[in-house]
Amino acid sequence: MNVQGDSGVGPAPGLSFGEKVVVLVGGILAAMALTVINPVLPDIEKELARTATDAMLVKQLFGAVTLAMVAGAPIGGFLVARLGMRRLILGASLIYAIAGTAGLYLDSLPMLLLSRMFMGASAACIQVMSLTLVNTRLDAEGRARWMGLHVSTAIFCSLLIFPLAGVLGDMSWRLPFLLYGFGLVVFAALLFSRSDEEAQADQGGSAEQVEEDETSIWTWMPWHYVLLSLFVGAITFLPTIYLPYQFKEQAGLSPSGIAIILMGTALVSGIMAMLYGKARRRFSVHAVFLFSFGAAAAGMAIVAFANSLPAVLLGFVVYSLGNSWFVPNVMTSLGGKLANHQQARAAGIVKAGHFLSTPLCVVIVEPYARQFGPVSVMLMVSVAAFAIFLLMVFRTLQLGRRGGPQLAPQPQTIGH
């Protein structure tokens, strides 16, 4: 079994044009699944809701997508061994476009909700496949670079898509659904770009993959990454959800003022994500985790104890510096521990944990937020990030005593 480690040892065939499009667009499609129709939810309720149950279904047009993504991520990871990477992405992107644009013509709320669930599941599947492509087609340096590009592209494009959805929503509540047709970009790019590796993969699984399929996933899956992904999701999403409430309570900011702040910090995160590949040339996975959790802990501590808006903004910026490297570092580290035929299933399970973190953590912290205010959430995030930071320090010291990876990366073979 050929395991590609952090040293970059192993085959690195590179990405075809179509695969590059999948990697860059995969994160965008997942972000769109969670943002595009939010501005028009009140208009949808006014137009289609006739009862209290209908009003609840309208709100579930967002909530159901998250749960569908939790299911879609591992399902995609397991289906790839049966269908092949190329066929799976082609099918998922077509489902994404058809189900996503269903709001252009559907008037039934239950059917619209069902279409949203199909769209969410396919979005998660595409993103898992894009991450799998990075971990199976590239060497260590290439993985770090393209993981950073995957995250930064999603961040930057989200800044454009959200206001565009608002403009379209001003014309008609149906028009934002048109944006989901963007899924056809992945379909077309992959349909007309076929590498030799893709063709071989579609002819059937290798003997190694067949053998692995008969081996229980419990024997090789690094399950602690699921727990790590849950914590990363909580540290990533909870401040984004509850900080607007703090801005409103402490500074009396309007929605437009809050949106400007969120856009500014998103730009910081996007720029940092683009620099992830360069950072990984000099620092190991453990060093990057130390920086990310340390910055998140420090930033949220500043926000929690700040008594002025400038101090809150400073803390939010410090937090954003580390926040942008969480996802690429988790997925790059995971990819370095697995063989190629294990990558998709492992990525699907870990991303499911990441998607599950938002609804799960909101249920846990909401009672405290209501009783003690949003500042209590920031303090909990800071404590959680600092606790993981200390665990990472202990782990790094352990590896140092054993002669394992230090704060600088091991020599890498430069491939495609």
pLDDT in tens, 198-222: 544 444 444 344 444 557 788 889 9
Residue 409: the pLDDT is 54
Residue 387: the pLDDT is 94
CB atoms within 10 A of CB 407: 14
Residue 184: the pLDDT is 93
pLDDT at 7 over 50: no
pLDDT at 35 over 90: no
pTM of the prediction? Answer: 0.81
Q: How far apart are CA 386 and CA 61, in angstroms?
A: 35
- List residues bridging with 3 in a β-sheet: 339
Pick 205 or 40 by higher pLDDT: 40
Fold (topology level) of 221-405: Growth Hormone; Chain: A; (1.20.1250)
**Percent of the chain scored above 70 by pLDDT?**
87
Nearest to 73 by CA among 259, 348, 368, 378: 348
Q: Band of the pLDDT at 366, cuts 50, 70, 90?
A: confident
Amino acid letter, residue 29? L
35: its two tokens: 């943002």
Pick 415 or 172 by higher pLDDT: 172
Fold (topology level) of 16-206: Growth Hormone; Chain: A; (1.20.1250)
Pick 107 or 14 by higher pLDDT: 107
Backbone angles phi, psi at 3, to 5 degrees: -100, 125
Pick 328 or 4 by higher pLDDT: 328
Backbone angles phi, psi at 108, to 5 degrees: -95, 120
Residue 3: the pLDDT is 36
Comparing 1-5, 139-143, 231-235, 361-365, the range with the smallest average pLDDT is 1-5
Amino acid letter, residue 250? Q
Q: How far apart are CA 297 and CA 290, in angstroms?
A: 10
Alpha carbon 371 to chain centroid distance?
Answer: 30
DSSP SS3 for 223: coil
Q: How far apart are CA 257 and CA 233, in angstroms?
A: 25
Mean pLDDT over the full length of the chain: 84
Q: Band of the pLDDT at 72, cuts 50, 70, 90?
A: very high
Domain boundaries, the chain: 16-206, 221-405
pLDDT in tens, 281-328: 999 888 999 999 999 999 999 999 988 889 999 999 999 998 989 999
Q: Band of the pLDDT at 404, cuts 50, 70, 90?
A: low
Please tell me what DSSP assigns to residue 104.
Answer: G
Mean pLDDT computed over 358-372:
85
